[in-house]
Structure 1
């Protein structure tokens, strides 16, 4: 593994383009807009240079509805149809485990690249371009494209914008550089208003019932985190009975608004006694060590992990680690 830069990645991908090579781009499980947007933006750019590109994410979950509308969907292939090319690029995966069963394709590649912004990422490629100072992986992909001399078009810019706006909470916690990037992408022609509506403000009517049920059972522990407070909610299979998995992703951004709690947690059921846990903090609590203690990772104020067992035990394990 070698710590790399955007220019290192660009040089490798430019050689692939010059040699009429082929590249596999791998997104992480339970894909969000940053991993898919980054993957499709990079894929569209390479496709435009004549590279044979395939973009994939591990199942079993399907791609969220809004992300199916992003440009570049022609490049997506199902895991069963993934060829596995000589160059493999992982985008926005904080660890090789986040690639699920697709990690075999990453490991088998002649050249492997990691592009990511998670502070917890240990590096797992031949070239690791990891920058925790970036708000999203899409920003890092843009740096690579700039170093390659790729001219942005509206399709590439739209994919990058999706990753940027979601990972900054619609720019609520964006760094100044992210706002400059957003302006650049909008200048190319991205429909910012339309994509904000698709990504943040569109839900099926049944989502209201799920939110009501989950928030009505939310719990507040004022004594947790040394008295700074913990608020948590559970999204079980019953609550999600008529909804797709991505509709639970918005819950943590509602729960985290509780004024009495520094830390928010949402436990989402993904199987029989199997859970993913989303964590958010406001100011003082660094979530990375907590998530790592449970086999996960992420950022200082936004992390996550997976756990298994009865929900009471899963909650208790988190509370013991705070």
Structure 2
């Protein structure tokens, strides 16, 4: 493992004839936007590029029409070029079956901003001070000397606006980046609305049922409080994965608790747990205890058991 700068990564990519770009499972706008932005920049340099994410599920409707989508290939059809880039994946496990493609590449580049990422490439560009991986990709694009076109900028904006919660917890650098992207021609209003404020009507009914069963534990997290909700499999199976991910943003609005958690039953007895904190609590310490990871204020992990069992385990860890 070698730590790299954006310039170092750009030098490796400039010398490559073909590149495989891998996004993490259940892609969000940061991993997909990063992958498609970098892919378009490399195509502009005459490179052969493929972009893929694990699994067979189609992209959520909120990410439909993102520029560069023609570069996407099905996971089963990935060629696997000598240079592979993992974008926004905190661990190789987040690449699932495409982890083998990454591992097989002679040059393996990791570009990520998760504080829990210890590095798993032959070259790692990991910067937890960046609000999103897409911002790091912008640095690479600049080092490649590629023009920042509106399509590339749109993909970067997608990662930036979502990972900062529509700039609610953005650092100053992110506002400067946003200004640059908008000046290039990104339709910020359209993409913010599509990515953050668009849900099918049925989602409202599911969200209402989930929120109706939410629980507040004021003594958790050293008295800072924890609010949590569970999404049983019968409800989760009725939603696209991005719709289920957005539930945590509703739960976290409870001002009585510093930490929010949503338990999503992906299969009977198997749960994906999303954690968020409002200000000071580092939720990576909680997630890490269960083999997960993420950011200081946004992390997650997987668990098995009944709803009561997985909730009890979190409450025990969050005292």
Same fold flag (TM > 0.5) = yes
Pair 1:181 & 2:182 matched: no
1:275 maps to 271
Q: Distance in 2 between matches of 1:109 and 1:241?
A: 35
Q: 1:160 aligns with which of 156, 161, 165?
A: 156
Q: Distance in 2 between matches of 1:202 and 1:191?
A: 16
Q: Distance in 2 between matches of 1:196 and 1:12?
A: 33
Shift of 1:241: 4.3
1:314 partner SS: helix
Mapping of 1:54-69 within 5 angstroms?
54-69=50-65
Q: 2:247 aligns with which of 246, 251, 255?
A: 251
What number of residue pairs does the alignment pair up? Answer: 318
Q: 1:135 aligns with which of 131, 156, 163?
A: 131
- Under a length normalisation based on structure 1, what TM-score does the superposition of the two structures give? 0.97
- CA offsets 1:47-86 (integer angstroms, 9 cap, x no match): 1111110000001443111212101111001111001000
1:146 maps to 142
Shift of 1:226: 1.5
Mapping of 1:82-93 within 5 angstroms?
82-93=78-89
Q: Distance in 2 between matches of 1:283 and 1:170?
A: 16
Unpaired stretches in structure 2, ≥5 consecutive residues: none
Q: Is contact 1:213–1:239 with CA below 8 Å preserved after alignment?
A: no
Shift of 1:314: 0.9
RMSD: 0.9
- CA offsets 1:128-184 (integer angstroms, 9 cap, x no match): 000000000000000011111111111000000000000000011111100000000
- Under a length normalisation based on structure 2, what TM-score does the superposition of the two structures give? 0.98
2:233 partner SS: coil
1:181 partner SS: helix
2:59 partner SS: coil
2:22 maps to 26
2:8 maps to 8
Pair 1:125 & 2:121 matched: yes
Which stretch shows the higher mean deviation, 239-248 or 288-297? 239-248
Q: Distance in 1 between matches of 2:90 and 2:311?
A: 23
Shift of 1:242: 3.1
Pair 1:318 & 2:282 matched: no
2:34 maps to 38
Shift of 1:228: 1.2
